[in-house]
Structure 1
Amino acid sequence: MTTEVRVPTLGESVTEATVATWFKKPGDPVAADEMLCELETDKVTVEVPSPAAGTMGEIVAQEGTTVGVDALLATISAGEAKAAPAKADKAEKPAKSDSADTGSSVDVMVPTLGESVTEATVSTWFKKVGDQVAADEMLCELETDKVSVEVPAPAAGTLTEILAAEGTTVQAGGKLAILSSGSGASAPAAAPKAEEAAAPAAASGKDVEDAPAAKKAMAEAGLSRDQVQGSGRDGRVMKEDVARAAAAATQAPAAAAAPAQAPRAPAPAEDVAREERVKMTRLRQTIARRLKDSQNTAAMLTTYNEVDMTEVMALRNQYKDEFYKKHGVRLGFMSFFTKACVHALKEVPEVNAEIDGTDIVYKNFVHMGVAAGTPTGLVVPVIRDVDQMGFAAIEKAIAEKGARARDGKLSMAEMQGGTFTISNGGVYGSLMSSPILNPPQSGILGMHKIQDRPMAINGQVVIRPMMYLALSYDHRIVDGKGAVTFLVRVKEALEDPRRLLMDL
């Protein structure tokens, strides 16, 4: 049976890539998920794993070839090469040859982490060396800058070696551990041998063939092999390693010559003893970077309005029990705001558009991002085609995405592709704030606390439940008139929900 190796999804707005490096040649044995080649796009470098175990067949796209998404890269012949990975492992790691007769070894690899995500940090190991594991049992958890990823056991056996300890940064497709599908009795003895054999190779770097793309990058950056710490298999230097080393080399002199930030003043000893220093999680670092990038890139402006929530609250109170009995989900305010935003986006489509270079991309659909607070930070799951959904479907989707977000179970795909975002700071008591755009989107609506305030209605002062609304928008694409119109349409739809039914 022949398995095709095709170009994976490259990311939003990326349609082609260049084949940079082939790590295998025709006739080589390959294991499932082993890295076959490296593709370069104008944004990121993408590694292509093997979809199955077998023997490398024909390479259709040679190095330097430009290929589109889903284009055929190569073929793999499965079947006769089942024992090939074990033989290759013997050749590379002679120290394990004594234990090879007791059972075959299975590599535990870093799974695909998602578009534009090339590395992760090992946060927790659920098993230790010597433990018996069942197929698909959770071995460890990885933390990326966006989501947490659980790594299941690819087969039943014994965990013989952990190659990436907790706190280690690993690359997509890298090796995490080794399982023995046999008795595993000699595993403890084999593990130290493997470490001893790997240590000289990693230290010297002479017996490890670095990626060709990495060699080229080192030459262009003027870096020697000793200046780059390899993160690939057996210390192999990858292109991303060179980029990190080059960035570190340029930042160090700049920091020494002219520090961008004043050094932290030394605190009194009694204060230091009461301080706690905690390293930022990858998610928190990414949140900080993306928020600052948004401010630096977009011409961000915020316009405000207020909405009388009397009619929405009355409608909700009238039908909430019947709604729950029929649909099995509670009727909240988010479905009203989502429908109101969809209604307004139809009239002001530029708020639902994005800038791509010198083009404006108008979206004839609404993928609504709903910001959700979690114990590890803010995430924005996306509800797709929300413009085609009713109140019940919206409430179910929001509840399901929110629960998955709090449990850290969201996938990369569930947080990509949004065209507009709603952020509800009111649940935390916020009275007014200016939300920050979620690039490349051009608009985000901020909801706030509902508060009783005296209002002048028909010449009389009455108490009404009022909420401040804030629309932050990219002034490069959305004019002030469009932003104000959008917010007024949201206000009108909420103050008279019947307008949503009449499409007014």
Structure 2
Amino acid sequence: MSHAIIIPKLGLTMEEATLVRWHIPAGQQVAKGATLYSIETDKISFDVEAEADGYVDQIVPEGDVVPVGALVGYLLERPDEASPCVSSVAEAAKVVVDNVPVPAASAAPPPMQATLGGNMGEGARRYISPLARRIAASNGIDTGALTGSGPNGVILKRDVERAMAARNAAGGPIGGDAPSSSVSRRPMTAMRRAISQRMQQSLNTTAQMTGFGKVDMTEMVQWRSELLEVMPTDAPRITYTDIVTKACAGVLREMPELNSYIDGDQIVTWNDINVGIAVAIDGGLLVPVIRNADRLSLLEIAAQRVALIDRARTGQITPADLEGGTFTISNFGSYGGDFETPILNTPQSALLGIGGITDEPAVRDKAIVIRAMMMLSLTYDHRLIDGAVAGRFRARLRALLEHPSVMLALLG
């Protein structure tokens, strides 16, 4: 009996994934527990293991965007076993069928092998993968003139690219008035597409304002330097991100307005304070979450940050690591930035950006002295948070960061 290969749901918000790679070629045997294929969601890459022994029958090709729960193939008992009928592909219509209803279960179409690469015929429904459809639309390719090379005549990415190459060879422009030699195109990764959509949605659905302020970190720099000198060698290294996370968590406990969001005509306040830390990775950005940050010591925050960033940058991050954030910190000072206007990580209503620490002239007791200064950028949803509230948040945060002993006495 064949075993269906289904796209797993890896998180509460996961809706689709890109099937990046089949690790076992079609027709070859795979053992239960071996890596079968890899997917990429809007947040992570994930290797999916075979749930049974069998011979691989691939339905969905590499590169296609598929919804959660979609059928992408089968594990067959024997290498000569006939593939399930093409209605199984139709069951995966959410994956590879463009505006085509799923055929009734009572329909009995011929086996898939009988229609692979076949002519769809006059008036037949046209099948096209979402990725192929997106590439065709952005490059002005008429899919009605294409012949699909996928199962049951599905038009795949390679079919669109073949048409683009043919048009290029004929000297025509690709996707508009730009000469083919002056541009190059590549499809967005699932992560980049999700970032693009979320950033645009954030700006479209909230009234964002950014306030700036400077913090004198001179005492904190000295305090941290002394701390690092006495820390055990096997302890996680305390960073300024850890210190700001600790201070923010304390202020959020005092000012829950910034740990809230708007839902319709209601204001919802989270009971927990879960601080997300923006982490740049190859090809995008992840925001792993330090949970209950207000209840953690500085050392515990540092340990969690180290573990989360390591998992993020080695591709081992899990959906659970990325969910549940109530406030976000973005340290653009780590890549040379002084100040920016961060975009909210909705549904959160506030995000703190921290710049690099630089020596600057400052006036103290009517004298010009050199102090270690750091810029803060607080972006907030003005529908919920007034400018005065945001100003008090920055002032309170500044007070804690400028007086390390006070911060430790109050927050532990």
TM-score bin (small chain): 0.7 to 0.9
In the TM superposition, what whole-angstrom CA distance separates every residue of 1:199-218 from its partner, at most 9, and x where no partner exists?
A: 9x999x8992179xxxxxxx
**Corresponding residue for 2:55?**
158
In the TM superposition, what whole-angstrom CA distance separates every residue of 1:246-282 from its partner, at most 9, and x where no partner exists?
A: xx9xxxxxxxxxxxxxx98723x4xx42532111112
Q: How does 1:406-417 map to 2 (within 5 A)?
A: 406-417=313-324
**Corresponding residue for 1:299?**
207
Q: 1:186 to 1:355 in 2, by over 3 A?
A: same
Deviation (angstroms), 1:395? 0.7
**Corresponding residue for 1:131?**
28
C-alpha distance in structure 2 between counterparts of 1:207 and 1:310, whole Å: 66
Deviation (angstroms), 1:134? 2.5
C-alpha distance in structure 2 between counterparts of 1:354 and 1:449, whole Å: 29
CA contact (8 A) 1:121 1:169 kept: yes
1:286 aligns with 2:194: yes
Deviation (angstroms), 1:337? 0.2
Q: How does 1:19-418 map to 2 (within 5 A)?
A: 86=1, 105-159=2-56, 161-181=57-77, 184-187=78-81, 190=82, 208-209=103-104, 266-267=177-178, 269=179, 272-325=180-233, 328-418=235-325
Q: 1:349 to 1:127 in 2, by over 3 A?
A: same
C-alpha distance in structure 2 between counterparts of 1:383 and 1:123, whole Å: 29
For residue 312 of structure 2, give the secondary structure of its aligned residue in structure 1. helix
C-alpha distance in structure 2 between counterparts of 1:298 and 1:198, whole Å: 41
Deviation (angstroms), 1:125? 1.4
Amino acid in structure 2 at the alignment position of 1:367: N
C-alpha distance in structure 1 between counterparts of 2:208 and 2:393, whole Å: 16
Aligned-residue sequence identity (percent) comes to: 37
Q: How does 1:449-468 map to 2 (within 5 A)?
A: 449-468=356-375
TM-score (norm 1): 0.63
Q: How does 1:402-481 map to 2 (within 5 A)?
A: 402-481=309-388
C-alpha distance in structure 2 between counterparts of 1:132 and 1:321, whole Å: 56
Q: 1:226 to 1:115 in 2, by over 3 A?
A: farther
C-alpha distance in structure 1 between counterparts of 2:344 and 2:368, whole Å: 37
Deviation (angstroms), 1:460? 1.8
Q: 1:473 to 1:162 in 2, by over 3 A?
A: same
C-alpha distance in structure 2 between counterparts of 1:329 and 1:310, whole Å: 22
For residue 334 of structure 1, give the secondary structure of its aligned residue in structure 2. helix
Amino acid in structure 2 at the alignment position of 1:208: P
CA contact (8 A) 1:348 1:486 kept: yes
Q: 1:107 to 1:264 in 2, by over 3 A?
A: closer
C-alpha distance in structure 2 between counterparts of 1:135 and 1:146, whole Å: 26
For residue 212 of structure 2, give the secondary structure of its aligned residue in structure 1. strand
C-alpha distance in structure 2 between counterparts of 1:207 and 1:334, whole Å: 51
Amino acid in structure 1 at the alignment position of 2:201: D
Q: 1:106 to 1:482 in 2, by over 3 A?
A: same
C-alpha distance in structure 1 between counterparts of 2:385 and 2:269, whole Å: 12
Deviation (angstroms), 1:420? 0.6
In the TM superposition, what whole-angstrom CA distance separates every residue of 1:159-185 from its partner, at most 9, and x where no partner exists?
A: 2x111110122222222222235xx34
For residue 178 of structure 1, give the secondary structure of its aligned residue in structure 2. strand
For residue 37 of structure 2, give the secondary structure of its aligned residue in structure 1. strand
Deviation (angstroms), 1:194? 5.5
What is the root-mean-square deviation of aligned Cα atoms in Å? 3.2
Q: 1:347 to 1:171 in 2, by over 3 A?
A: closer
C-alpha distance in structure 2 between counterparts of 1:285 and 1:399, whole Å: 27
CA contact (8 A) 2:253 2:273 kept: no
C-alpha distance in structure 2 between counterparts of 1:198 and 1:289, whole Å: 29
Deviation (angstroms), 1:228? 8.7
**Corresponding residue for 1:97?**
none
Q: Greater relative contact order: 1 or 2 (C-alpha under 8 angstroms, separation 6 or more)? A: 2
For residue 213 of structure 2, give the secondary structure of its aligned residue in structure 1. strand
TM-score (norm 2): 0.76
In the TM superposition, what whole-angstrom CA distance separates every residue of 1:134-174 from its partner, at most 9, and x where no partner exists?
A: 22111111112232232101023432x11111012222222
Deviation (angstroms), 1:230? 9.6
C-alpha distance in structure 1 between counterparts of 2:17 and 2:222, whole Å: 48
Gaps spanning 5+ residues in structure 2: where?
Answer: 107-122, 138-173
For residue 359 of structure 2, give the secondary structure of its aligned residue in structure 1. strand
Q: 1:198 to 1:305 in 2, by over 3 A?
A: closer
For residue 387 of structure 1, give the secondary structure of its aligned residue in structure 2. helix
For residue 313 of structure 1, give the secondary structure of its aligned residue in structure 2. helix
C-alpha distance in structure 1 between counterparts of 2:80 and 2:89, whole Å: 18
CA contact (8 A) 1:348 1:485 kept: no
For residue 346 of structure 1, give the secondary structure of its aligned residue in structure 2. helix
For residue 448 of structure 1, give the secondary structure of its aligned residue in structure 2. strand
Structure 1 residue runs of 4 or more that deviate by more than 3 Å after TM superposition: 193-199, 225-231
For residue 340 of structure 1, give the secondary structure of its aligned residue in structure 2. helix
Deviation (angstroms), 1:404? 1.6
Deviation (angstroms), 1:379? 1.5
Q: How many residues align?
A: 349
Gaps spanning 5+ residues in structure 1: where?
Answer: 1-85, 87-104, 212-224, 232-240, 249-262
C-alpha distance in structure 2 between counterparts of 1:438 and 1:385, whole Å: 18
Amino acid in structure 1 at the alignment position of 2:213: N
